[in-house]
Structure formats: structure tokens, C-alpha cells
């Protein structure tokens, strides 16, 4: 039975003191349940945390029965169907349902599942937004009505004050912690040149900073998807998984280029084909960009519903920027370390690897042009190695220019260069033959091979080399 007026005042003071001293959300929930049971005399209390897009609610149910207390949980989609919770979220006002079984305001399945005969739905709101909904229900014939609304509204407002205070305290505490986490993450960029090590550190710091249960980086794009690369608390089988475009929140970011948040991961996200995210309720992902292109996503998952604030997004975007810097630095380091120190063109092995990658992509080269500088050792003997090195650098620059945009140019040997080109390789070979002679006074033998005639990068280069040798054996100064 509900408490009388004499008992209500001290009970409300107890609730007020409890929620103001509460350290956690669970403390507020516990105090609210005690007060609701004592002051309103309910058989059930449903506390529903509302997602930030107001599309779903995660509910905890406490039912008081003859055998004691029973708990249940459910997820409710807040759509156009009848729903007391959806009405409260939309209007911000309490809703009284004196006869649940005959009401059109509730879903039939809801009343049947919980045996509700009457209920009051009350908003728990702060900052101008309904953050929770409280449903106080009776399963016995004595109905809840208008006379109960004022007391229930007071209880809901006290709970809102406690929850808002906890949120404010956590935000103030997090500010300093977030700054420290970013400082540690930035330091990781200078601590190691190993990309995997740096990304794992950044991912761990990002996940811990927002209280995530798992975190990961997916590297890729909107066409191919993203490969799971560096994770924190990720399940077995996660690393190496290809998150397809539009799949999970990471795949949605790769497809759209925009940050994505969901508070109902299992309901409104196209799930990955493996069980790597089967426990998640909330997830957020932000894009990673460098060199003007979208190249990855940083994703954080929570095994509970967790409101992702603008401050959280800004923090995760800062971590994503640091991860992007790490990736760009790694690319630059690999690029520099695999280039010929004299000419700046790719080394032999790097050139072959780059051609292999290009042949596997959508814009494969049409062919390969191999340039052999005829009798170049005579230049070194006559003019010295300094003059010879200068000629090699100038030859490399001319080859890059004539090979055209998108070409892959490398130093194949001491006095040999190769270029995988996207334009007619025979025409490129002819221009090189003429240009190297006219501008540098170098007589060359040029071999041309078509990508369509080769099974891979190594064979393409071998065919071009064989053609150059044939040109040289025929007297040089020609294209074969």
C-alpha cells in the first residue's frame, strides 16, 4: 500500500539525500526502487534508459511478487507503434494508463508479458531531454491513477537530479583524464616506428578514455572495406577480419565518411559475419583520413547502452587524427626506406611489389618499359663517378616525366630503369629513346612488354628485360 502523508515526507527526504550522495547510476536506481515501492505501492518498476536518438530503450524490470523480487530486462524499439514510453519521450509529460488491458496507448504484447493492469509512465529528464522513462505498474485490480502522478513525478525528478549530478561529476573528471590520455597517445608516435605497436597503444588509450569494452582500427576504404588491424580487448578472430562497407559501425564510416553512433547495435546495424561483436549494445566509429583520403575507421564498442556525447566524439576524432598521423608516417618511412638513395626511384624489390599491387587493383598498368643505358660505364670512366651519378639522377627524372602520371618508376639495376605505365608503353619507350639522347646525350636500349602477356609482376619485368637485351644485341639505340 502507498505511504500516508506522515510517512511520505521522511521517505522523500531519504530519497533526496540518497540520490545526491550517489556515486553511480546503480545507487540512484536502488534508491528510486525503494522509494517507489514504499510511497506508491507498485507491483513492478520498469526503468528504461533511452538512446540518444530516441529510437530504442533498454529496460530493467523489478517485479515484487509473493515469492520475493524478480528481475527482467528487454529492449524496446520506439517507433510508430503504441507505446507509453515513446509517448513520454516525445511529449516529456507523464502518461496515466488506469486500464492497461483496454488501452490503445500500449502494445498488447507488453501488457500480456508483464501482466500490467494499470501504470503511470513518467519522464526522467534533464537538460531539456528525456533520458530515462520510469514505469510504475500494478498487476492487482487496484488501479494507479491521476492521484498518484504527483508523487511519481516527484520521485522521477529526484532521480533525474541524482543522475544529472553523476553525469556532471564524470564529465569534470574525464576532462583531465582525456587530456592525459591524448598526451600519452601523442608520445607513442615518437616512441616507436612500428605501426602495429603505435596503433595498439592509440586504440587502447582511446578505448579506456571513453570506458569502452573493446576498440579497434579498421584500415581500408569504402570500396573494399576495412581490415581489422589493431585492437584492444578484441575477441579471438578479430584481427585480420575484413569489415565490409556498410557492415558494423566501422563499415558504415568507411562507406559514408562520417562518424556513426548506435545505441542498439544488435538491432539496427548490419552485423559482421562472425561473432566478433555479439555482445555490443552501443558502438561509435569515427573516420581516419590522411593525404586527403578516407583510409580507415576507429571504432569503440560498449557491452551496455552508453550515451556518446559531443565531447566523446571530439576526443575520439583526436585519437583518430593521431592514428592517421601514425599511418602516414609509416607510409612515408616505408616509401623512403625502399627507394634508391641516388635517384629517388623505387628499388628493384619495391618496384616489383608495387607493380604486383597495381596488377591486382582496378587500374592495372598497360605495360612495362625497361631502359638500359648503353655503355654507361664509359661515362664513369671518362667523366668520373660524380658526373655519372648526376647523369643517372637526370635520367631518372626524365623517365618519370615521360612515363606520365600514375607510372611506377624504379631503378632496376646499376644503369637500368623500369617503368610500369598506364599509357601506351611502346609510345613511352619511343619518347624515352629520343629524350634521353637529345637532352642527356645518352644512347639507350629500350624493352617493352605488355601486362596482358604476363602472369604477374616478375614475369612482366622479365619480359621487358629480355626485350631490352634483344634491342641491345641488335646494336642498341632502339626499342624492342
Looking at the DSSP bridge assignments, the partners of residue 288 are: 296
pLDDT of res. 379: 77
Q: Which residue has the higher pLDDT, 380 or 467?
A: 467
Of the pLDDT bands very low, low, confident and very high (cuts 50, 70, 90), residue 4 is: low
Contact assessment for residue 469 and residue 413, using Cβ atoms and an 8 Å cutoff: no
Identify the weakest region by mean pLDDT among 90-94, 308-312, 360-364, 415-419.
360-364
**Alpha-carbon distance values, 190 to 29, 143, 230 (Å):** 45, 67, 18
In angstroms, rounded to a whole number, what is the distance separating the alpha carbons of residues 166 and 211? 15
- Residue 258 pLDDT > 60, yes or no? yes
Largest CA distance in the chain: 114
- Residue 433 pLDDT > 70, yes or no? yes
Of the pLDDT bands very low, low, confident and very high (cuts 50, 70, 90), residue 180 is: confident
pLDDT of res. 240: 81
Of the pLDDT bands very low, low, confident and very high (cuts 50, 70, 90), residue 333 is: low
Interaxial angle between packed helices 25-40 and 146-191, expressed in degrees from 0 to 180 and rounded to the nearest 10: 170
Q: Could you tell me how far CA 159 lies from the centroid of its own chain?
A: 34
Average pLDDT over residues 286-307: 93
- CATH code, residues 5-168: 3.30.450.40
In angstroms, rounded to a whole number, what is the distance separating the alpha carbons of residues 355 and 459? 11
Model confidence pLDDT, tens digit, residues 6-52: 678 888 899 999 998 999 999 999 999 999 999 999 999 999 999 98
- Residue 136 pLDDT > 60, yes or no? yes
Of the pLDDT bands very low, low, confident and very high (cuts 50, 70, 90), residue 168 is: confident
Which has the closest alpha carbon to 215: 264, 268, 117, 283? 283
Number of H helices, E strands in the chain: 14, 16
Identify the weakest region by mean pLDDT among 175-184, 304-313, 458-467.
175-184
Identify the weakest region by mean pLDDT among 207-211, 236-240, 306-310.
236-240
Give kind and range of the element (H or E) at residue 185: helix 146-191
Average pLDDT over residues 293-300: 95
Model confidence pLDDT, tens digit, residues 98-120: 999 889 999 888 889 999 999 99
Identify the weakest region by mean pLDDT among 54-63, 175-184, 241-250.
175-184
In angstroms, rounded to a whole number, what is the distance separating the alpha carbons of residues 125 and 420? 64
Q: What percent of the chain has pLDDT over 90?
A: 53
The answer to whether domain 5-168 and domain 192-335 are alike in fold is yes
pLDDT of res. 137: 94
What ranges do the domains of the chain cover? 5-168, 192-335, 348-473
Identify the weakest region by mean pLDDT among 3-7, 41-45, 155-159.
3-7
In angstroms, rounded to a whole number, what is the distance separating the alpha carbons of residues 248 and 238? 13
- CATH code, residues 348-473: 3.30.70.270
In angstroms, rounded to a whole number, what is the distance separating the alpha carbons of residues 262 and 51? 8
In angstroms, rounded to a whole number, what is the distance separating the alpha carbons of residues 392 and 272? 52
192-335 carries CATH number 3.10.50.40: no
Interaxial angle between packed helices 310-337 and 195-209, expressed in degrees from 0 to 180 and rounded to the nearest 10: 180
Contact assessment for residue 366 and residue 424, using Cβ atoms and an 8 Å cutoff: yes
Dihedral angle computed from the Cα positions of residues 158, 163, 165 and 166, in that order, rounded to the nearest 10 degrees: 150
Question: Counting Cβ atoms within 10 Å, is residue 240 exposed (0-12), middle (13-18) or buried (19+)?
Answer: exposed
Among 6-10, 177-181, 262-266, the range with the most confident prediction by mean pLDDT is 262-266
Q: Which residue has the higher pLDDT, 423 or 358?
A: 423
Identify the weakest region by mean pLDDT among 222-226, 304-308, 377-381.
377-381
Of the pLDDT bands very low, low, confident and very high (cuts 50, 70, 90), residue 188 is: confident
pLDDT of res. 317: 94
Give kind and range of the element (H or E) at residue 150: helix 146-191
Q: Could you tell me how far CA 423 lies from the centroid of its own chain?
A: 37
Interaxial angle between packed helices 5-21 and 146-191, expressed in degrees from 0 to 180 and rounded to the nearest 10: 10
pLDDT of res. 23: 92
Model confidence pLDDT, tens digit, residues 363-399: 677 899 999 998 887 777 787 878 888 889 889 989 9
pLDDT of res. 114: 93
- Give pTM, 2 decimals: 0.64
- Residue 362 pLDDT > 60, yes or no? no
Amino acid at each position: 500500500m502507498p505511504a500516508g502523508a506522515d510517512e511520505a515526507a521522511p521517505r522523500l527526504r531519504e530519497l533526496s539525500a540518497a540520490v545526491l550522495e550517489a556515486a553511480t547510476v546503480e545507487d540512484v536506481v536502488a534508491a528510486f526502487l525503494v522509494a517507489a515501492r514504499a510511497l506508491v505501492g507498485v507491483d513492478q518498476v520498469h526503468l528504461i534508459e533511452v538512446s540518444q536518438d530516441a529510437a530504442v530503450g533498454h529496460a530493467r524490470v523489478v517485479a515484487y511478487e509473493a515469492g520475493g523480487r524478480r528481475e527482467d530486462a528487454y529492449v524496446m524499439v520506439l517507433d510508430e507503434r503504441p507505446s507509453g514510453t515513446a509517448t513520454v519521450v516525445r511529449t516529456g509529460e507523464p502518461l496515466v494508463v488506469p486500464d492497461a488491458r483496454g488501452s490503445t496507448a500500449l502494445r498488447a504484447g507488453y501488457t500480456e508479458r508483464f501482466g500490467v493492469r494499470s501504470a503511470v509512465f513518467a519522464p526522467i529528464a534533464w537538460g531539456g531531454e528525456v533520458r530515462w522513462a520510469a514505469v510504475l505498474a500494478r498487476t492487482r485490480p487496484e488501479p494507479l491513477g491521476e492521484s498518484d502522478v504527483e508523487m511519481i513525478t516527484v520521485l522521477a525528478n529526484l532521480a533525474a537530479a541524482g543522475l544529472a549530478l553523476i553525469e556532471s561529476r564524470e564529465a569534470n573528471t574525464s576532462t583531465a583524464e582525456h587530456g592525459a590520455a591524448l598526451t600519452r597517445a601523442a608520445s607513442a608516435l615518437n616512441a616507436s616506428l612500428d605501426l602495429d605497436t603505435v596503433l595498439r597503444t592509440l586504440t587502447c588509450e582511446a578505448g579506456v578514455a571513453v570506458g569502452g569494452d573493446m576498440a579497434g582500427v579498421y584500415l581500408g576504404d569504402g570500396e573494399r572495406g576495412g581490415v581489422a588491424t589493431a585492437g584492444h580487448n578484441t575477441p579471438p578472430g578479430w584481427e585480420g577480419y575484413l569489415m565490409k562497407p556498410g557492415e558494423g559501425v566501422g563499415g558504415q564510416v568507411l562507406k559514408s565518411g562520417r562518424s556513426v553512433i548506435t545505441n542498439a547495435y544488435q538491432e539496427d546495424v548490419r552485423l559482421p559475419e562472425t561473432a566478433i561483436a555479439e555482445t555490443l549494445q552501443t558502438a561509435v566509429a569515427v573516420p581516419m583520413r590522411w593525404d586527403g583520403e578516407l583510409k580507415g575507421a576507429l571504432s569503440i564498442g560498449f557491452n551496455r547502452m552508453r550515451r556518446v556525447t559531443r565531447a566523446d566524439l571530439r576526443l575520439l576524432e583526436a585519437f583518430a587524427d593521431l592514428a592517421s598521423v601514425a599511418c602516414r608516417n609509416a607510409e612515408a618511412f616505408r616509401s623512403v626506406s625502399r627507394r634508391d638513395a641516388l635517384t629517388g626511384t623505387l628499388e628493384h624489390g619495391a618496384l616489383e611489389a608495387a607493380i604486383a599491387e597495381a596488377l591486382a587493383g582496378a587500374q592495372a598498368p598497360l605495360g612495362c618499359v625497361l631502359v638500359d643505358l648503353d655503355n654507361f660505364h664509359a661515362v664513369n670512366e671518362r667523366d668520373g663517378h660524380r658526373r655519372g651519378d648526376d647523369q643517372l639522377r637526370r635520367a631518372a627524372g626524365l623517365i618519370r616525366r615521360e612515363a606520365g602520371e600514375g607510372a611506377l618508376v624504379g631503378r632496376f639495376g646499376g644503369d637500368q630503369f623500369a617503368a610500369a605505365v598506364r599509357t601506351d608503353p611502346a609510345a613511352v619507350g619511343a619518347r624515352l629513346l629520343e629524350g634521353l639522347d637529345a637532352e642527356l646525350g645518352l644512347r639507350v636500349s629500350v624493352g617493352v612488354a605488355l601486362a596482358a602477356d604476363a602472369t604477374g609482376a616478375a614475369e612482366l619485368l622479365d619480359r621487358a628485360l629480355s626485350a631490352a637485351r634483344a634491342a641491345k644485341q641488335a646494336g642498341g639505340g632502339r626499342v624492342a
